[in-house]
């Protein structure tokens, strides 16, 4: 099992519990684990274009074509995030964005995750595209 697979598996397992314990014995929250994840996909034009295509397929129905969270097709009881502004309620690192894409957005998980429907690499392409919406540099 590769280091990336172990890290992703560890993050997923950690997300199930409220508190995780690192190898050093320190407790961390699932969000802290996600925040430390590094994006293995370079944020180059090809990745952003791929991410845009995937965003249009999987995310547009709620977040809108431009990512402003203004889609009329979004469920009425859901308030999709505006991905073009400076507010990142669920974390602003690449790892946190990736985790929301794959696991969904809690606490009530109206935004369902794409885990099992989308390969990890494609989720990282979406991260790179979302970053491009606001011109945000990867973290």
Return the half-sphere exposure (C-beta side, CA atoms, 13 A cut-off) of residue 136. 19
Q: Which two tokens stand for residue 39?
A: 């994006």
Contact 134, 85 (CB under 8 A): yes
Report pLDDT digits (tens) over 76-88: 888 899 999 988 8
Helix, strand, coil percentages, rounded to 5, for the chain: 45, 5, 50
- CATH architecture for segment(s) 37-133: Orthogonal Bundle (1.10)
Over residues 124-136, the pLDDT tens digits come to 999 999 999 976 5
Give the C-alpha separation, 47 to 40, whole Å: 11
The pLDDT averaged over each successive group of 10 residues in the chain (139 residues) is: 42 43 57 92 97 97 93 89 88 92 88 95 97 69
Q: Where do the domains of the chain lie? A: 37-133
pTM of the predicted protein model:
0.76
The C-alpha angle with vertex 17 and arms to 129 and 96, in degrees rounded to 5, equals 15
């Amino acid at each position: 099992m590769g280091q990336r697979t172990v890290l992703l598996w560890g993050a997923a397992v950690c997300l199930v519990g409220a508190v995780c314990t690192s190898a050093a014995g320190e407790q961390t929250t699932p969000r802290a684990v996600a925040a430390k994840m590094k994006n293995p996909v370079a944020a180059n034009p090809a990745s952003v274009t791929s991410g845009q295509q995937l965003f249009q397929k999987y995310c547009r129905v709620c977040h809108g074509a431009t990512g402003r969270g203004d889609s009329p097709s979004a469920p009425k009881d859901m308030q999709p995030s505006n991905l073009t502004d400076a507010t990142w309620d669920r974390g602003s690192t690449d790892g946190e964005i990736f985790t929301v894409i794959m696991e969904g957005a809690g606490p009530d998980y109206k935004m369902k995750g794409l885990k099992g429907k989308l390969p990890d690499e494609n989720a990282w392409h979406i991260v790179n595209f979302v970053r491009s919406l606001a011109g945000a540099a990867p973290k």
